Structure 1
Amino acid sequence: MKVLQIVKYYDPCQGGMETVVKNIVEGIVDNTGEVDFTVYSNNHKRNFVRSIQEKRREIIVKEITPVHLKSQPLNFRYPLLKSLIKDSDVIHHHYPFPTMEFTLLRYLKLMSGKKLIFTWHANIKNSRWSWIEKIYNPMIEKLLERADAIIVTSPQLFEASTILQKHKNKIKTIPLSFDPKFSSVNSRKFPDNRCFEILFVGKLRKYKGVEFLIRSIEKLEVKLNIVGDGEEFQNLLSLVNDLNIKDKVTFFSNVSDDELTEHYKNSDLFVLPSINEAEAFGVVQLEAMANGLPVINTNLKSGVPFVSLDGYSGLTVQPLNSESLKLAIENVINDKSLYETFSVNALERVKLFSRDKMSKDYLDLYKNNF
């Protein structure tokens, strides 16, 4: 069976969707010889070079993508798409990816007799792309009508989407997973007699809410490590300087997987302060929980509070509120019993999100009728 994965960017570019596709592909390839994958994406290096890489039962094609708008590739051609669709049994598309979805519409007839699967990663309402909904949603409707199955990563993601309601009979929930290399078998002990190390991992974009996290620690005796890069970096760096907390906040960019693993191991608490539903799930929460880290997240109408549960594996606060974040951090770092309970529960909760389970669910979907 040949499966075509279509995603905006792919490994080694770091991000939620990129990680999901990597885990699907590697999880299935590691466990069965039934599927050969082609991954079609944009070249994250933003140049005029198309790259093709062959790995074990996986071909990775990265298309020429010289022009971008707010990290969105502006590419309306995708010249290899037609031949890749013809050569595939299953087309698995990862939404949202606007320029590709415009292109896919031209090839609906080519998909006759083939299975089309949509994984719905996020609702764009209230995101920075909400302004295109009037022209975007009718196009997406046509693709959803053709789709054989629509996968959401949490029940909350479906409930918060108006466009998905009319396709309820096609909806299946498959939670995301994490790379097992981030796993730890031991829960955390309360870090006595030293400064708490707080960790954020993710792209530095407005919706991530990192500015609220930075403001929340201004008066706290903690260290904050921010792992990631993006268009908000200079603004966040300026905020740190303005608050005069350079001794508390350290930025890390372009980290390797091994370096990221060390960040998880050396941290005490993970915070995901996202401010809107552009944060649909937060795979980094799973990676943190797999290391026994308690998690503080925000109460969004998405999968974010579904991953780490309020009062069980951490605390959930209202978004856009530095004071709420500060109080939650104080609650965790000042209560040894609560901290260690959250750590044990995080390791237990994350078992529900294994890569083996997710890849098995997708393999079943590729092979069988929905």
Structure 2
Amino acid sequence: MKILHIYRTCYPETKGGLEQAIRFICKGTSKLGYHNTILTLGNENKDYLFEGYRIVVIKKDFEISSNGFSFKLIKEFIKLSKESDIIHFQYPWPTGDLLSQFLPKDKKTLVSYQSDIVKQKWLKKLYAPLEYSFLNKVDKIVASSPQYADTSKNLKKYKDKVEIIPLAIDEESYPKDVSNRIEYWRNKIGSDFYLFVGVLRYYKGLKYLLEAANINKLPVIIAGDGPERTNLEQYIKKHCLNNVKLIGFINEEDKVALHHLSKAFVFPSHLRSEAFGISLLEAQMYSRPIISADIGTGSSYVNQNNVTGITVIPEDEKALSDAMIKLNLDPKLSKKMGINGRKRFDSLFSINRYTKSYSELYKTM
């Protein structure tokens, strides 16, 4: 069976969470005998094999609001879709929706629905007719959690064709021996801190984490870079938060080391732009309890309140602070939640489960 995957980027061209998710589908199902091709955009034309599947990169002509486009992409899409049995889209990507209008007749289609369009409301209004046509046309829609399927206005419209397949990560792809990096970071920043790892974006709720740290004075490490960094640095300086450290972008070895040194993982995202949170799975993989905001998306599916961690009301720095204090005062509870998180990871978020779920879905189409 030949599967054509459509998205604006892919691993290893770029290395975000969604790129990894597409990678794991292709890598895993290729081992099961599926023939996968990814069609994507980039800065130059490429066509190469990677981890058992094909990647076709088309040079983009222009970009509007992070949505790239190429006229050559349409021609290549028509060609590759004729050769494929199933076309697998990712949402949101308006260019992908446009490509669906050029589908050959009787092709089976599905879309992995990653997130509602939250911030670009003006673009959403212009894009609505194309989006409506696209979601009506596809045969199956995959949501990453029951919570998102139940709370998304779009998904509720198409509930009869919605399937649930949670995202996953491949434990084997993470560094194993990081003892040197653990000692490096232990000497540099200590241990038993509350850790955040991710891009510093507006919807991550990091200002509430800083406000919570200002209340409880507990140690917080924020690893990552992004557009909110200046604002965070200004807050830290203004309030003299010596207990908070911004350490910037880190590599995979350092990320693993920081998880081993941390007390818990904090994920204060407060808007629905945070549809799932791959970093939550990493925390559970390393048996760390999670403190997160309950925003009715996949993050609330990953982190079970009072089982794998604590969920709090979004944008409530006092509740976030109290949760941090609770874990700090009860090491046994913290350890128990971390162990429960690892069990949840093994049962729901492993790469084997993820691959099997998509393989079974492909077979039913």
- Aligned partner of 2:180 in structure 1 is none
> What does residue range 149-228 of structure 1 map to in structure 2 within 5 Å?
149-181=140-172, 182=174, 196-228=192-224
Distance in 2 (CA, whole Å) between partners of 1:219 and 1:166 is 43
- The DSSP-based 3-state class of the residue aligned with 2:258 is helix
Deviation at 1:135, TM superposition (A): 2.9
Deviation at 1:325, TM superposition (A): 1.2
The yes-or-no answer on 1:279 pairing with 2:270 is no
| Conserved 8 A contact 2:143-2:164 | yes
The yes-or-no answer on 1:270 pairing with 2:270 is no
> What does residue range 243-254 of structure 1 map to in structure 2 within 5 Å?
243-245=239-241, 248-253=244-249
| Conserved 8 A contact 2:143-2:165 | yes
- Aligned partner of 1:187 in structure 2 is none
- Aligned partner of 1:52 in structure 2 is 47
- Of 134, 140, 143 in structure 2, the residue corresponding to residue 143 of structure 1 is 134
Distance in 2 (CA, whole Å) between partners of 1:131 and 1:317 is 31
Deviation at 1:285, TM superposition (A): 0.6
- Aligned partner of 2:67 in structure 1 is 73
Distance in 1 (CA, whole Å) between partners of 2:214 and 2:61 is 40
| Conserved 8 A contact 2:3-2:37 | yes
- TM-score normalised according to structure 2 size: 0.87
Task: State the one-letter code of the partner of 2:319.
Answer: S
Q: Cα–Cα, structure 1 residues 297 and 183, in superposed 2: closer, same or farther, change >3 Å?
A: farther
Deviation at 1:264, TM superposition (A): 2.1
C-alpha offsets along residues 133-178 of structure 1, whole Å, 9 cap, x if unaligned? 3232332221122211111111111111222223222111111112
C-alpha offsets along residues 293-333 of structure 1, whole Å, 9 cap, x if unaligned? 00011111212111110110100011122222111111111
Distance in 1 (CA, whole Å) between partners of 2:159 and 2:363 is 21
Distance in 2 (CA, whole Å) between partners of 1:238 and 1:14 is 29
- The DSSP-based 3-state class of the residue aligned with 1:277 is coil
- Aligned partner of 1:339 in structure 2 is 334
Deviation at 1:59, TM superposition (A): 1.7
**Structure 1 gap ranges (5+):** 185-190
- Of 220, 224, 231 in structure 2, the residue corresponding to residue 235 of structure 1 is 231
- Aligned partner of 2:106 in structure 1 is 113
Deviation at 1:227, TM superposition (A): 2.7
Deviation at 1:73, TM superposition (A): 3.0
- Aligned partner of 1:368 in structure 2 is 364
- Of 337, 344, 347 in structure 2, the residue corresponding to residue 349 of structure 1 is 344
| Conserved 8 A contact 1:123-1:157 | no
Distance in 1 (CA, whole Å) between partners of 2:281 and 2:269 is 15
Deviation at 1:105, TM superposition (A): 4.0
- Aligned partner of 2:18 in structure 1 is 17
Task: State the one-letter code of the partner of 1:97.
Answer: W
| Conserved 8 A contact 2:111-2:142 | yes
Task: State the one-letter code of the partner of 1:179.
Answer: D
Distance in 2 (CA, whole Å) between partners of 1:50 and 1:235 is 38
Distance in 2 (CA, whole Å) between partners of 1:246 and 1:60 is 46
Distance in 2 (CA, whole Å) between partners of 1:94 and 1:73 is 13
Distance in 2 (CA, whole Å) between partners of 1:237 and 1:63 is 39
Q: Cα–Cα, structure 1 residues 183 and 195, in superposed 2: closer, same or farther, change >3 Å?
A: closer
| Conserved 8 A contact 2:61-2:70 | no
Distance in 1 (CA, whole Å) between partners of 2:324 and 2:125 is 40
> What does residue range 25-44 of structure 1 map to in structure 2 within 5 Å?
25-29=26-30, 31-32=31-32, 34-43=33-42
| Conserved 8 A contact 1:42-1:73 | no
Q: Cα–Cα, structure 1 residues 183 and 133, in superposed 2: closer, same or farther, change >3 Å?
A: same
- The DSSP-based 3-state class of the residue aligned with 2:193 is strand
Which structure has more helix as a fraction of its residues? 2
Q: Cα–Cα, structure 1 residues 296 and 104, in superposed 2: closer, same or farther, change >3 Å?
A: same
| Conserved 8 A contact 1:225-1:252 | no
Q: Cα–Cα, structure 1 residues 264 and 26, in superposed 2: closer, same or farther, change >3 Å?
A: farther
Deviation at 1:247, TM superposition (A): 5.8
C-alpha offsets along residues 234-267 of structure 1, whole Å, 9 cap, x if unaligned? 22233323332356312231x3333322232232
| Conserved 8 A contact 2:191-2:262 | no
- Aligned partner of 1:289 in structure 2 is 284
Question: What is the aligned-residue identity percentage?
Answer: 28
- The DSSP-based 3-state class of the residue aligned with 2:241 is coil
| Consecutive aligned runs of 4 or more in structure 1 exceeding 6 Å deviation | none
- The DSSP-based 3-state class of the residue aligned with 1:60 is strand
